[in-house]
Amino acid sequence: MNKKDTIGIFDSGIGGVSIWEEIHQLLPNESTIYLADSKNAPYGNKSQDEIISLSIKNIEKLIELGAKIIVVACNTATTNAIETLRSKFSLPIIGVEPAIKPAILQTKTNNIGVLATRGTLSSTLFSETTSQFSNEVEITEVIGEGLVTLIEEGSLNSLKLKTLLKKYLEPMLSKNIDYLVLGCSHYPYLIPLLKELLPQNIKIIHSGEAVAKQTKYVLEKNHLLSEKKENTFLFYSNFQIETLKNILADYRNKVIISKLDF
């Protein structure tokens, strides 16, 4: 590993691009390689063994492509596989978890909502994090069944997506939540729609900024921060690349998007 190597990022599909954006904003001098494992999306309905196996495959490919650090830009992969991954690989590995702690510390109604995948909500790590910080706060957890698939299809403005979201928000709204925690890296792409559906007093939070700060901290600690001015931003999908192109439209002049078997 050296400073000239890249930040390697993977997710079960396009969702982790929301994490990439935060990392790129904070660390513009860093080259990045992003793997969208869309062929196997969503991870949320898979067994822990499957999630670990897919995560190992993704990291091995990123190392082969020159990664100096790995960002697991997937809540389900983090909560189910991070300990195994850190024991197997020697390079630094950053995970992403639902932003439960800030929501619990800032809630005024003592009620928060968490929208996440089945794989995240059922994980030991999520359970431990929740019990560690919850105290007097009631947490309404809702599985966002079907949301990742619709986002992967590029159906962000579909009636089906809007109908599903309304259904998932109902139990949270009935509990008078004032914070909605997005527990899947795909879900920040729902924020415009969520703002339409939610009362203005409900704050929406996700983990992107915290992951970017942690990535910077670990790179500094390991003396791996890049000093380059010429950088590359590579995005690979093992399925179709149209949705990836659409969500990266604002960066079209600086990113390279390709299909890759992995």
- Residues 144, 22: one domain? no
**What's the domain count of the chain?**
2
- The pLDDT of residue 134 is 67
- Residues 71, 16: one domain? yes
- Residues 25, 118: one domain? no
pLDDT per position as a tens digit, 183-222? 999 999 999 999 999 999 999 999 999 999 999 999 999 9
In a domain, 90, yes or no: yes
- Residues 200, 234: one domain? no
* pTM of the predicted model as reported, rounded to 2 decimal places: 0.91
From start to end of the chain, where are the E strands?
6-11, 32-36, 67-72, 93-94, 111-116, 138-143, 179-183, 203-205, 233-237, 255-259
- Residues 155, 184: one domain? yes
Catalytic residues: 74, 184
In a domain, 36, yes or no: yes
- Residues 119, 240: one domain? no
pLDDT tier at 130, thresholds 50, 70, 90 = confident
In a domain, 1, yes or no: no
- When pLDDT is averaged across residues 126-147 and rounded to a whole number, the result is 86
pLDDT per position as a tens digit, 151-163? 999 899 899 999 9
Q: Provide the domain limits for residue 71.
A: 6-95+208-259
Mean pLDDT, all residues of the chain: 94
- Residues 20, 109: one domain? no
- The pLDDT of residue 136 is 85
- Residues 165, 185: one domain? yes
pLDDT per position as a tens digit, 7-29? 999 999 999 999 999 999 999 99
- Residues 107, 161: one domain? yes
- Residues 111, 175: one domain? yes
Q: What is the CATH number of the domain that holds 14?
A: 3.40.50.1860
In sequence order, the 6+-apart residues with CB closer than 8 A to the CB of 77 are: 10, 11, 12, 43, 51, 54, 55
